[in-house]
Structure 1
Amino acid sequence: MSISAKSPGEYLLIRNAVEKERLELQFKAWQANIGYLLHPAITQHDHMCIADVGTGTGIWLQELANILPNSCQLDGFDISDILLPDKSSLPENITFYLQNFLQPFPEEFIGKYDVVNVRVMVVALSSDEWEPAVRNLMTLLHPGGHLQWVDCAAHECIVKAPEGTNPVNANRGMDLFRKTMNALGKTPNTAALHGIFQKSGLDACEEQIFTLTNPEVRDNLNFSVATAIAHCLTAALKLHKLEDMQSEDEIRNLKEGMLEDLRSTHCWFCYDVYVVVGRKS
């Protein structure tokens, strides 16, 4: 694989309608295993200010708006607004802003929030960007506020296959995904996130690990992973140059092969999701 120098926070996925569908299916699969939106250590009240950074489609904020009073202020930040819903479809207490979260936030947001939530940065950040990201996000919190980070060990995803089956395409897709992630430096040690929280000065840090085993959402997860692999390879092909994939048609064929493997061999993708939370002193 031939690559050029990476850009800070370079997002190794594409942004389109299929990716929006994928992200929301992934969200549902994760929630079916995690079971909460806000970690139990976070005390809730009627006038919370909450930021969702890397908000993507805004689905986390929309789900949160369904369970919190409308007196709570819910702000979403993302480097792109392509996947965001139309404002007319949102509750009045949700607002979105454009922001690269590796860059300093405007003064109006500093020290404002009870909670800062982050999800799925494993395809956006390189290993050396995780600690600076945590420190920058901490500036948004007022004393006593919580940083909540939900992420996965994507490169450790495995294909679970019944004995005697050989899901060739599903395994090849995972191998190419890992190779691409490695080549572009998108292999942060998600298990180190708890230590980064502590090193950065957050208190009462907790970590929970959820293995995505809920069979009721397995189809959603399978589609999400196969599509994520295809989108990752497509983004890498556009940004750089892949030795193993020469065209988007090849990538589409690989995705269809993975989905066929999942159907015909009754195999499934499985990985761990980490929820890490810490409090600003």
Structure 2
Amino acid sequence: MSAPEYVFARDYLDNNRINLQHYLWVEVFGYLLHPDIPLQNPNLKIADIATGTGTVLTDLSRRLPPSVQLDAFDISFQAMPPRELLPPNINLHQWDIKTDIPKEFEGVYDVVHIRQLTFVLLDDEIETALRNVFKLLKPGGYLQWADVDVHSLRIEKVNQESSTAALEKIVEITRSADRRLIPHWIPELPTLFEKTGFKDIKSDTRDASGYMGYTFHECVLMVHGMIVQNSRNDEVAQRLRIAFPEALKETYQGAYHAWTRWTVIGRKPE
């Protein structure tokens, strides 16, 4: 049996997770689009790939003139609000980043934004995805890709005597559910940008500490619940059901998962 196209559930709980992570992410990094990306042109064309709930574009719509074109790309728009509720300058286009781009979108965009494809692309799919995205950009256009390095995981705790065994366990179990949950390509993004042909590459890595890290952790805890719901492996789901309540207890005692998050930008040569 093949794996579902999306590891998580497209429902109101997952939508809330995505939306909360967006605002936490912007708070931790201090920007939605990197300060080096020029945004003065009132006729900018911006694409958001794997847009999910569309929260990146709806947030941009409040920050940029209504003349800016904001295009959402995804394989499904089930997670987005009804079209009637979206700003009029947001357009929806169905596209899978793993496939070649439609000809009408080649060289169209000043900025392409991508975030949180960590659990979507396998290690052997990332180079093709980057080449596809490169084609979307105008000469001189910018790509911003933001993601979390799952292999940077560590456990922080306010009480050094507290147990973290269950928090460690749920990560081990979840990673065994789907190989998309253990990608290695995130720290390689700067090198992959260069290999694709991008110039002026910059990397920004941030760790969310204190209450912000704890809030991120509680948000990400929903992922484990969705693995229980979506896993095709009954053994994995059952093991998580047993371990998850103990992981919650450890969380409420002040222990939490922490990760390093990356934002990488690059410019397509003129």
TM-score by length of 2: 0.91
Could you give the per-residue CA deviations for residues 86-108 of structure 1, whole angstroms, max 9, x where no partner exists? 11221111112221111122222
Matched with 1:172 is 169
Structure 1 residues 221 and 277, CA gap change in structure 2 (3 angstroms): same
Is residue 2:265 matched to residue 1:277?
Answer: yes
**Which SS does the other structure have where 2:65 is aligned?**
coil
**Cα distance change of structure 1 residues 80 and 253 upon mapping to structure 2, 3 Å threshold:** farther
Question: Paired residue for 1:37?
Answer: 32
Q: Deviations over 1:43-72 (max 9, x none)?
A: 112111000000000001111111111110
What is the match of residue 90 of structure 1?
86
Bigger relative contact order, structure 1 or 2, given CA contacts below 8 A and separation 6+?
Answer: 1
Distance in 2 separating the partners of 1:214 and 1:61: 29
CA-to-aligned-CA distance 1:158-187 (integer Å, 9 cap, x gap)? 221221000332221122223335x45742
Q: What one-letter code is carried by the residue in structure 1 that aligns with 2:247?
A: M
Distance in 1, Cα, partners of 2:169 & 2:113: 33
The 2-side partners of 1:202 and 1:242 are apart by: 43
Within 5 Å, give how 1:68-107 maps onto structure 2.
68-107=64-103
| Residues 77 and 177 of structure 1, relative CA distance in 2, 3 Å threshold | same
The alignment partner of 2:147 has SS state of: strand
Q: In 2 relative to 1, CA 222–185 (structure 1 residues): closer, same or farther, beyond 3 Å? A: closer
Q: CA RMSD in A?
A: 2.0
* Consecutive unaligned residues in structure 1, runs of 5 or more: none
For the pair 1:14 / 2:13, whether they are aligned, the reply is no
Alpha-carbon contact 1:6-1:184 (below 8 Å) kept: no
Query: Equivalent residue of 2:110, what SS?
Result: strand
Alignment CA distance shift 1:24-1:220 (3 Å): farther
Give SS of 1:269's match.
Answer: strand
Q: Equivalents in 2 of 1:66, 1:185: separation in Å?
A: 33
Q: Which amino acid aligns with 1:261?
A: E
User: Is the CA contact 2:126–2:185 (under 8 Å) kept in the aligned structure 1?
Assistant: no
The residue type paired with residue 111 of structure 2 is V
Whole-Å Cα distance in 2 between the matches of residues 133 and 242 of structure 1? 32
Aligned CA distance change for structure 1 residues 185 and 223 (closer, same or farther; 3 Å): closer
Q: Which runs of 5+ in 2 are unaligned?
A: none
Instruction: Supply the AA of the counterpart residue of 1:166.
Output: S
Q: Is the 8 A contact 1:227 1:255 kept in 2?
A: no
Provide the residue aligned with 2:106 in structure 1. 110
The corresponding residue for 1:143 is 139
1:56 and 2:62 correspond: no
Aligned position for 1:229: 224
CA distance in 2: counterparts of 1:191 and 1:114, whole angstroms: 25
Superposed CA offset, 1:75-122 (max 9, x none): 011111110111122111111222111112222211100001111111
Which whole-Å CA distance do the structure 2 matches of 1:118 and 1:186 have between them? 19
8 Å contact kept, 2:173–2:240? no
Q: Which residue of 2 aligns with 1:245?
A: 237
Shift in alpha-carbon separation, 1:194–1:55, aligned structure 2, 3 A:
same
**How has the CA–CA distance of structure 1 residues 185 and 27 changed in structure 2, closer, same or farther, with 3 Å as cutoff?**
closer
- Percent identical among aligned pairs is 29
How far does residue 42 in structure 1 lie from its aligned partner after superposition? Answer: 0.7
Quote the Cα distance in structure 2 between the aligned partners of 1:193 and 1:6. Answer: 25
